[in-house]
A and B are shown apart, each in its own frame.
Chain A
Amino acid sequence: AQSVAQPEDQVNVAEGNPLTVKCTYSVSGNPYLFWYVQYPNRGLQFLLKYITGDNLVKGSYGFEAEFNKSQTSFHLKKPSALVSDSALYFCAVRVSSGSARQLTFGSGTQLTVLP
């Protein structure tokens, strides 16, 4: 079975400061990892993914995430937060082998960037 933990329900950060949204995962085998963002009354939007290769992946809107296999983590980061980054963020995992394609999501972290 695969699972994702987002230990923080809420993260507050001041505009211009760096932000981190935490994610740890559990999967049998090698993981594919994803971050999605959800704005009110809108669907999930893809931010970035880790499939293989460089542990630091860059995505949309200046976000990046670092895959750490030993700590089974995939934290989302941004060097300088914007008020417009305020949204609900989901980390997701799926196994890289076999026929399963479904994503398993964490419970989400509400990011609030304060002006």
Chain B
Amino acid sequence: GAGVSQTPSNKVTEKGKYVELRCDPISGHTALYWYRQSLGQGPEFLIYFQGTGAADDSGLPNDRFFAVRPEGSVSTLKIQRTERGDSAVYLCASSPSASGYEQYFGPGTRLTVT
């Protein structure tokens, strides 16, 4: 079956602009995660959804970052007033249950803020 998909694969934007990054999880997966990976580092947790609700948003760095999952499937990560420090690969993962034993990752969206 299809894996986790993320669009766009690459996004270049100017400082101060607004961006949206989309994640399509594996069909039937109830849990969805967003991570951010900076160059030379491991992924860092941003937010976790169980169904439609954000079960844990403790990793969001500030109030410029927001994510939604209105129907419990597709999720959108939204970044307002982008800064150069937001440049990174944004990874989405899903898992089939709340246990989250195995998280299946998408290919990521590379965001570059100029």
CB B112 to nearest CB in A, in angstroms, measures 15
Closest chain B residue, CB of each to CB of A106? B42
Given the contacts A43-B4, A108-B42, A101 and B107 also touching, CB distance less than 8 Å: no
Q: Can you spell out 17 A-B residue pairs with CB atoms less than 8 angstroms apart?
A: A36-B105, A43-B106, A44-B91, A44-B93, A44-B105, A46-B104, A49-B101, A49-B102, A51-B101, A101-B31, A101-B48, A101-B56, A101-B98, A101-B100, A102-B45, A103-B33, A107-B41
Closest chain B residue, CB of each to CB of A46? B102
Size of B's binding interface in residues, CB under 8 A = 27
Bound-state Cα–Cα, A62 to B43, Å: 25
B85 contacts the other chain (Cβ, under 8 Å)?
no
Interface of chain A residues 35 through 70 with chain B (CB within 8 A): 36, 41-46, 49, 51
B55 contacts the other chain (Cβ, under 8 Å)?
yes
Given the contacts A51-B101, A102-B33, A102-B59, A43 and B42 also touching, CB distance less than 8 Å: no
**Complex interface: chain B residues within 8 A of A36 (CB):** 105
**Complex interface: chain A residues within 8 A of B31 (CB):** 101
**Complex interface: chain A residues within 8 A of B55 (CB):** 99, 101
Bound-state Cα–Cα, A40 to B93, Å: 18
Given the contacts A101-B55, A102-B48, A107-B42, A41 and B101 also touching, CB distance less than 8 Å: no
**Are B43's CB and A44's CB within 8 A?**
yes
**Complex interface: chain A residues within 8 A of B98 (CB):** 101
**Are A32's CB and B45's CB within 8 A?**
no
